[in-house]
Amino acid sequence: MLKVGFIGLGVMGGPMALNIVKRGFPLTVFDLNASAVEQLTRAGARAAATPREVGAASDVVVTMLPEPQHVESVVLGADGVAEGLKSGGIVVDMSTIDPITSKRVGDELRRRGFEMVDSPVGKTSEHAATGTLTLMIGGNPAAIERVMPVLECMGTDKYMCGGPGMGHAMKVTNNVLATTIFAANTEALAIGAKCGLTLETMMEVMRTTMGWNAQLGVAMPKKAFVGDDSAGFMIKLAAKDVRLAVELAKAQGFEALVGQGALKTLQNAMDAGFADRDTARLLMIREDQLGVKVRPAAASTGKAA
């Protein structure tokens, strides 16, 4: 059985790592958050003091980190995973990073005698807990095949997106679309409410038109429409994902104008002090700006102060 390492035990990474333990894989973990590490060690994982130690204890190391520079540093930096891995070891990066960084890290790992698979995830923290995430997988086929038993602990919907970096390309593409749709929803609903339309009427009509989308039908009723902005998909992470897409578009020679608009919306929310709140807060911000309530009167005013 493969020995597995996991670095990055946040809102998504913690439950993902827990599912690996539950499937019986020997697991070594590292995170700067001691309580997150303790939760995994109680479940049977072993704690490591450094990423290098994780690499030395593992055949496969999974990383789930916030930013591209964190992945590069944890994997290739001083005392990083690559300093501990044995020949043939594989890094599976499940973070949301740009494909340019992904390919650069992967190329360097291969130069050192290792492999890298990129497998960022889709869906929510609830799906992370149940092991039913969407996996967007890129890499060399032999490496993917070898790590598939580990990936299957965390996701049920698996999509082979292409060679190295293509999983990350798919994730950035997905997230810029999902986030711009969400931001557009909050604006449209606030405009309608300011005109006197009820949420019920707007939803009923839009279900029959091309304005309908999964954010309206699935995500927003669970959080935004009930005033719950407790951290799920945090605004600062949504902003990071859209920024990556805007920068990627620029590197490819064009301006991501819609993405830039969504990024400005998210930046304004962060400037107002809501970086660590769920993107559901964007609807509440619009309500405050226009002096209306999109949400039904019975909805809570939010879990955050």
Judge whether 28 and 55 are in contact, CB under 8 Å.
Answer: no
In a domain, 20, yes or no: yes
pLDDT value of residue 305: 36
Q: What pTM did the predictor assign? A: 0.91
Residues 62 and 119 in one domain: yes
pLDDT, tens digit (0-9, with 9 covering 90-100), for 181-221: 999 999 999 999 999 999 999 999 999 999 999 999 999 99
- Segment 278-295 mean pLDDT: 96
**Looking at the 3D structure of the chain, how many domains does it have?**
2
pLDDT, tens digit (0-9, with 9 covering 90-100), for 15-61: 999 999 999 999 999 999 999 999 999 999 999 999 999 999 999 99
Work out the pLDDT band at 296, boundaries 50, 70, 90.
confident
In a domain, 233, yes or no: yes
DSSP-derived secondary structure for 256-269: -HHHHHHHHHHHHH
Residues 189 and 85 in one domain: no
Domain hosting residue 89, numbered range: 4-163
Residues 255 and 178 in one domain: yes
> What does pLDDT average to over the chain?
95
In a domain, 222, yes or no: yes
Among 135, 163, 191, the domain boundary falls at 163
Residues 115 and 18 in one domain: yes
Residues 36 and 55 in one domain: yes
- Segment 65-69 mean pLDDT: 95
The set of residues, in sequence order, having a beta carbon less than 8 Å from that of 244 and lying 6+ positions away, is: 68, 96, 97, 98, 172
In a domain, 303, yes or no: no
Residues 261 and 285 in one domain: yes
Residues 128 and 257 in one domain: no
Residue 298 pLDDT > 80, yes or no? Answer: no
> What 3-state DSSP class applies to 93?
strand
In a domain, 33, yes or no: yes
pLDDT, tens digit (0-9, with 9 covering 90-100), for 131-175: 999 999 999 999 999 999 999 999 999 999 999 999 999 999 999
pLDDT, tens digit (0-9, with 9 covering 90-100), for 52-62: 999 999 999 99
Alpha helices in the chain (DSSP H): 13-22, 34-42, 51-56, 68-76, 99-111, 125-130, 141-151, 166-194, 199-206, 214, 220-222, 235-251, 257-271, 281-290
Distance CA 279, CA 272 (A): 13
Residues 81 and 52 in one domain: yes
Residue 304 pLDDT > 50, yes or no? Answer: no
Q: Which amino acid is at 197?
A: L
Work out the pLDDT band at 232, boundaries 50, 70, 90.
confident
> What 3-state DSSP class applies to 46?
strand
pLDDT, tens digit (0-9, with 9 covering 90-100), for 84-136: 999 999 999 999 999 999 999 999 999 999 999 999 999 989 999 999 999 99
CATH of the domain at 268: 1.10.1040.10
CATH of the domain at 46: 3.40.50.720
Residues 143 and 186 in one domain: no
- Residues serving a catalytic function are 171
